[in-house]
Amino acid sequence: MAVMNYKCGVCGKEFAKLLVSPLHAPSKCPVCGKNDIKELGPAFVDDGTVLKRALCSSCDTCGDTACPTAPASV
């Protein structure tokens, strides 16, 4: 099993999906319904000590201050 990141080539929405096998990869965008889906890679990476969220460009909810896409703290 893996959690993979995808991006729609039509509307630009990025999303993740838990895959039991590669046969379960999404065929349509959950937002616009188009079938121009590109795999971006794994949603999580293992740095040897902890499992970390991989780089994403649309997430603002993980709260990881080390995330390069996290908003700057004030």
Q: What is the pLDDT of residues 12-48, one digit of tens each?
A: 999 999 888 878 899 999 999 999 999 998 887 666 6
Q: In total, how many domains does the chain have? A: 1
The strand pair at 14-19 and 2-8 is best described as antiparallel
pTM over 0.85? The answer is no
- Residue 73 belongs to some domain of the structure: no
- Residue 11 belongs to some domain of the structure: yes
Q: How many angstroms separate the CA atoms of 14 and 30, rounded?
A: 10
**Tokens describing residue 21:** 């096998």
| Residue 33 lies in domain | 2-53
> Is the separation of the CB atoms in 43 and 3 below 8 Å?
yes
How far from chain centre, in Å, is Cα 33? 17
Write down the pLDDT at residue 24.
86
- Residue 65 belongs to some domain of the structure: no
Nearest CA to 5 among 49, 66, 73, 62? 62
CATH code for the domain of 37? 2.20.28
